[in-house]
A and B are shown apart, each in its own frame.
Chain A
C-alpha cells in the first residue's frame, strides 16, 4: 500500500503562561486503506494530533505531508481547498448543521465544491444509502437519534470520496450497541470502498476493532501495534 500521510517530528505547544506541550516530536506514517486508531488517555494528545493531520491547526514544529507534499505550511484558502477535496471529518458531537435536512447536510461539501444541484443530490443520496439512511434524507438532525446523526456525519465525511476520514472519538456520545454499529459501518466503508480511516478513542471495545493502534502518552508516541482482525 502507498504512503498517504507522513507526520515528521511534529511538535505542538499551546501558548500561554504555562506553555503546554501537547505533542513532542511525533513521527507517523499512514498508508492508504488503513483502519487505524489513535489511543491514549485524556490529555495524551490524540485530538491535537488529529487536528494537525486534519490541517485544522498548525504545528509549532515539524511537518504533515500528503502524498509527499507538505501541507502544514499552506495558507488558509489552499488548506480549505485541500480539506474540501481530500479529507472527511467525523466529530464526537456529530456537528450537523441544525437548519439543514440530512441530505442537505451531506451535500454541503459538494455545494462548497461548486457541483451542480442534481449531481450533488445524487451523490448525497448515494452516501446516505451507504450508511443506511436513505429513507431519512429529508429529516432534520433534531428528528434523528444520536446514532443516526453520527451516520449522517459519516455520509457527509465520505460524500466527496476523500483520501482520509478523520474521526475524533466518534462513538463517545453513543451507547455501546450504537457505537458498535457505527464501527461496523466504518469498517464496511473501509473494506468495500477502500476509504482510509484514522480515529481516536480511549474505549477498549472500540480499539479492538482497529487493524492498527497507535498509542500516545503525554504527547509522545508510546507504541504502534499492527493487529489482525
Chain B
C-alpha cells in the first residue's frame, strides 16, 4: 500500500512538490522561530544572571523588594558554610547592593553601588570583561569601577577620586573616597550610566557593618537546576531570617517576557499549522475528485471502503513524511548557519537599555520544541486528509465508475 501511496503522491508531481515545499518551509519557519525565541531567552537569562543577578541569592526574608535587598544579614557565616558544602554551586560571593550618592569635584549623582568580593565576582558575573580602560578591583583597596557614561557625567578620569555616600548602620551618612581604577563599556544605558562597583571590604568599613552583607549571590554549574537547588537550600539554611531566592523571582520581568514571546510563538505556530492543514486538505480533495473513478475500480475489484480510506491516509503519511524531512533539514541548516554566524536582531538593542545585551543572537536548536512541531505538522497532515479519505470510503462503486 505504501508503494502505491508513494506513486500516487508523485502522480501530480508539481502539486505535491508545492505542497511538500509549503509544509517543509512552514516547518522550517516554525523551527527557526522556536530556535530564535529559545536562544533569545537563554541569552537573556545568561546575561541577566551573568551580569548582576546570579542564579540564586540568599537574602533576608523580610526585604521589601528582592531585586534591591535593603536589609542586612548580620552573621552570614552559617549560611556560607551551607553554600560551601553544595557541589552544585560553582561559585558564591558576598555582596552589598545599595543605592547611594557619588560625587566628584564637578558633579553628584545617585547610583546603585555594588560592593562585591572582587575575586569571587570575576567568575560570578562577567562585569570585569567589560573594562575598556584600567583594571578590575583590588579586594583590599579602595578602587572603583564605573561605566564610561557615569564617569563622563561626573567628569572624572582614571586615577581621579570620587566620594561615595550611603546610609551607615547607625543611621548617619557614611562616606569614603574611592579612586577610579577601571572604566567599562557594556553598551547598556543602565549599567554604564547608573551602576558602580567597589570592594565589599571598603563598603563594610564605610557603613560600619564589618562582616555584614545584604546578599550571598551564587552561580550554579547547571542553571536548569535552579529551582531544585533553591528548594534544597531553603531546607538546609540555618533557621532564621534568610532564604534563597532564584533569579526567576528577582528578575520576574524576564519570566513575563518569556511568557509573552511563547504566546506570540504559539499564535504563529497555529497560523502555520492552519496553512499546512488547508494545503493538505486542498491537495487531497483535488486528488479525490480526480480519482473518483479509480476508487470505483478499486472497489469493484474487491477493495473494502476502509482500504480506500487507508490508502488516502497513507498518501498523506508519505506527503507528511517528505514535508517533515524537508522541514527538519531546512530548519536545522538555517539554525546551524545562524548558530555559527549569528543573527542580527533589533530586539537585542531594545534589551540593551536594561542589560549588556548584544544585538547578535547565536541560534541553538531546541529539539524538544522542534519535535513537538514535527509531530504536530505530521498529525495535522493526517487529520486534514481524514475528511477526503472518509468521503472516498463512502463512495458507491457504480456511481464512482460513472464519474467523469
Residues of A that sit less than 8 Å from B by CB: 51, 54, 56-57, 76-77, 80-81, 83-85, 88-89, 91, 95, 97-100, 108-109, 111-113, 156, 160
Interface residues of B in 77-117 (CB under 8 A from A): none
With A98-B11, A100-B7, A112-B307 as contacts: A83 and B300 at CB distance below 8 Å: yes
For B45-76 the 0/1 string (1 means CB < 8 A from A) is 00000000000000000000000000000000
Measured CB to CB, the nearest residue on chain A to B10 is: A99
**Cα–Cα distance between A89 and B302 once the two chains are bound (Å):** 10
Within 8 A of A (CB), among B287-306: 293-294, 296-306
Contacts of A76 in B (CB 8 A): 304-305
Q: Are B297 and A77 in contact (CB under 8 A)?
A: no
Complex Cα distance A91/B7, Å?
23
Query: Which of chain B's residues have a CB closer than 8 A to the CB of A111?
Result: 1
Docked complex Cα distance between A81 and B304 (Å)? 7
Q: B2: shortest Cβ distance to chain A, in Å?
A: 12
Chain B: which residue is nearest A86 at the CB level? B302
The smallest C-beta distance from B383 to any residue of chain A, in angstroms, reads: 24
**14 examples of A-B residue contacts, CB within 8 angstroms:** A51-B398, A54-B300, A56-B401, A57-B397, A76-B305, A81-B302, A83-B302, A84-B302, A89-B297, A97-B4, A97-B297, A99-B8, A99-B11, A100-B4
Assess whether B252 is interfacial by the CB under 8 Å rule.
no
Q: Mark contacts of B291-335 with chain A using CB atoms, 8 A cut-off: 1 yes-contact digit, 0 otherwise.
A: 001101111111111110000000000000000000000000000
**Chain B residue at minimum C-beta to C-beta distance from A54:** B300
Question: Bound state CA distance, A51 and B297, in angstroms?
Answer: 12
Q: Does B341 contact A (CB under 8 A)?
A: no
Looking at the assembled complex, report how far the CB atom of B302 sits from the nearest CB atom of chain A, in whole angstroms: 2
Cβ contact within 8 Å between B299 and A80? yes
Return the chain A residue nearest B396 by Cβ. Answer: A57
Point out the residues of chain B lying under 8 angstroms from A97, CB to CB. 4, 294, 297-298
CB distance from A171 to the nearest CB of B (A): 18
- Collect the chain B residues with CB atoms within 8 Å of residue A56's CB: 296, 299-300, 396-398, 401
Q: A56-B398, A57-B398 are in contact. Are A77 and B11 (CB under 8 A)?
A: no
Given A51-B398, A99-B4, A99-B11, also A80-B303 (CB < 8 A): yes
Residues of B within 8 A of A85 (CB): 302
Given contacts A56-B396, A83-B302, 5 further A-B contacts (CB under 8 A): A56-B398, A57-B397, A80-B305, A156-B301, A160-B302
A77 to B307, CA, bound (A): 10
Which B residues are in CB contact (< 8 Å) with A160? 302
With A57-B397, A99-B7, A100-B7 known as contacts, the answer to whether A91 contacts B304 (CB < 8 A) is no
